[in-house]
Amino acid sequence: MDIFDKYQTLAARRAQLLATGTDPFHLEIEDLAGPCEATIAGRRTILLGTNNYLGLTFDPACIEAGVEALRRYGTGTTGSRIANGTYAGHRALEAELAAFMGRRAAIVFTTGYQANLATIAGLAGNKDAIFVDSDWHASIFDGCLLSGAKVVRFRHNDPEDLDRRLERNPTPGGCKLIVVEGLYSMFGDVARLAEIVAVKKKHGAFLLLDEAHSFGVFGARGRGVAEELGVEGEVDFVVGTFSKSLGGIGGFAVSDHPRFELLRVAARPYMFTASPGPATIASVRAALARIAARPELRARLWENARCLHAGLTRLGFELAAPPGPILSIRLPDERSAVFAWNRLLESGVYVNLALPPGTPGGACLLRCSVSAAHTAEHLETVLDRFASLAAALAQPLAAE
């Protein structure tokens, strides 16, 4: 038996994808002409699947901050935060994130994935129970496994089901930790956070909110869904990422808990991973300042999201959620989704192809992410290409 035999089914599905057209998992971006345009297969392509919500990856101040840090501090830290990997920039960013989020303390991680992994596994132990939304991100799933805690899933975005499961699962000698996301990355729906907070208070639980896709996008100051819904004071821990609105790579967690800093010596993914490079930290600091100083970026993002949502709806596409930075189009089956993704790519529009088992409920999706950097011309072109796709989908697909 070969060690890869266990993946025969996966290999067969991948081969079927490759036979249909471009490999979505090895798509090569040959050149970039800004946050929303690239060259793919020699073709000018509008990027509609980047999570670059505020378009800050090409912001001049962010780029210059990264370049200056690269010259001054070099290419990397070559060490973890508890060894030789804490630079002045790391501490400065943590102070700035804490101030921006209105929290007592912040911890910066090397990736957003590790932010969830470290925070969840650091907070929960084998006497605790984690109550997690069933549409959990892989990083949340792995954090729960690493913690050793009892894991209880509740129905997606269902505070009533969460209430029942908290009632049925006492934790003698331990704590209850609820983990939800502010904006869910596949469908683009928003957490029913006010009701979840009420359930949390009823059962004396702690609440961790992953604002990865909602940070910079929701709230008067861009702090996320908790700010938007006025419940920040009831959220115990917030996790976020640098790879969406902040245009970098890395992650963070913030909290008002007086003993939050213990995670630095309790969370293995923090303790044993090399710290983020100086250039990344510098560009993220500049991006955070941009988010604070330029609320018009959020306004432009939402204007674009409403425009695109309305246009796609007029064309007859089924959107999975109301207007927002993530617009996911439901398609009836995998074959239709793969055909549609390839057709759009060939016409110069890149979106995300999202298929089971990576999607909730076995959904087949074209996942679009809107940016403040998309122009009116971009959106007009995108809707024109989707109009052509709608006409093609109305015809029977050719047999394989």
Q: What is the pLDDT of residues 305-363, one digit of tens each?
A: 999 999 999 999 999 999 999 999 999 999 999 999 999 999 999 999 999 988 999 99
306: Cα separation from own chain's centroid? 20
Determine phi and psi for 350, rounding to 5 degrees: -100, 125
* CA 176, 212, 217, 345 torsion-angle sign: negative
Task: Give the pLDDT confidence score for residue 171 in this predicted structure.
Answer: 94
**What pLDDT, in 10s, does the model give residues 5-55?**
999 998 888 888 888 888 888 899 999 999 999 999 999 999 999 999 999
Give the DSSP H/E element, type plus range, for residue 395: none
* pLDDT of 386 over the 70 cut: yes
Amino acid at 335: R
**What pLDDT, in 10s, does the model give residues 243-281?**
999 999 999 999 999 999 999 999 999 999 999 999 999
The C-alpha angle 243, 43, 50, rounded to 5 degrees, equals 15
Please tell me the distance from the alpha carbon of residue 248 to that of residue 30, in angstroms, as a whole number: 19
* pLDDT of 400 over the 60 cut: no
Please tell me the distance from the alpha carbon of residue 29 to that of residue 31, in angstroms, as a whole number: 6
Q: Which residues does the annotation mark as catalytic? A: 185, 213, 244
Q: Tokens 């920039």, residue?
A: 89
- Contact between 50 and 351 (Cβ < 8 Å): no
CA-to-CA dists, residue 394 to 312, 315, 336, 351, 389, angstroms: 15, 12, 11, 20, 9
Please tell me the distance from the alpha carbon of residue 159 to that of residue 278, in angstroms, as a whole number: 41
- pTM summary value: 0.96
The C-alpha angle 35, 38, 42, rounded to 5 degrees, equals 175
* pLDDT of 399 over the 60 cut: no
Mean pLDDT on 122-131: 98
Please tell me the distance from the alpha carbon of residue 379 to that of residue 172, in angstroms, as a whole number: 55
- Contact between 210 and 239 (Cβ < 8 Å): yes
**What pLDDT, in 10s, does the model give residues 136-158?**
999 999 999 999 999 999 999 99
Task: Give the pLDDT confidence score for residue 106 in this predicted structure.
Answer: 98
Mean pLDDT on 73-100: 97
**What pLDDT, in 10s, does the model give residues 102-118?**
999 999 999 999 999 99
CA atoms within 13 A on the CB side of 191: 37
Determine phi and psi for 123, rounding to 5 degrees: -80, -40
How much is the mean pLDDT over the chain? 96
For 67, the 3-state DSSP assignment is helix
Nearest Cα residue to 367 out of 329, 331, 339: 329
**pLDDT level of residue 3 (50, 70, 90 thresholds):** very high
Which ranges of 130-214 would DSSP assign to H, the alpha helix? 138-147, 159-168, 193-203
Q: Tokens 């949340």, residue?
A: 140
Please tell me the distance from the alpha carbon of residue 256 to that of residue 235, in angstroms, as a whole number: 9
**What pLDDT, in 10s, does the model give residues 196-244?**
999 999 999 999 999 999 999 999 999 999 999 999 999 999 999 999 9
Q: Which two tokens stand for residue 26?
A: 């090895």
CA dihedral 345, 329, 161, 148 (to 10 degrees): 0
Q: Tokens 């192809």, residue?
A: 353
Q: Give me the domains of the chain, ranges plus CATH numbers.
A: 5-57+295-393 (3.90.1150.10), 74-293 (3.40.640.10)
Please tell me the distance from the alpha carbon of residue 112 to that of residue 258, in angstroms, as a whole number: 23
Mean pLDDT on 154-178: 97
Task: Give the pLDDT confidence score for residue 398 in this predicted structure.
Answer: 58
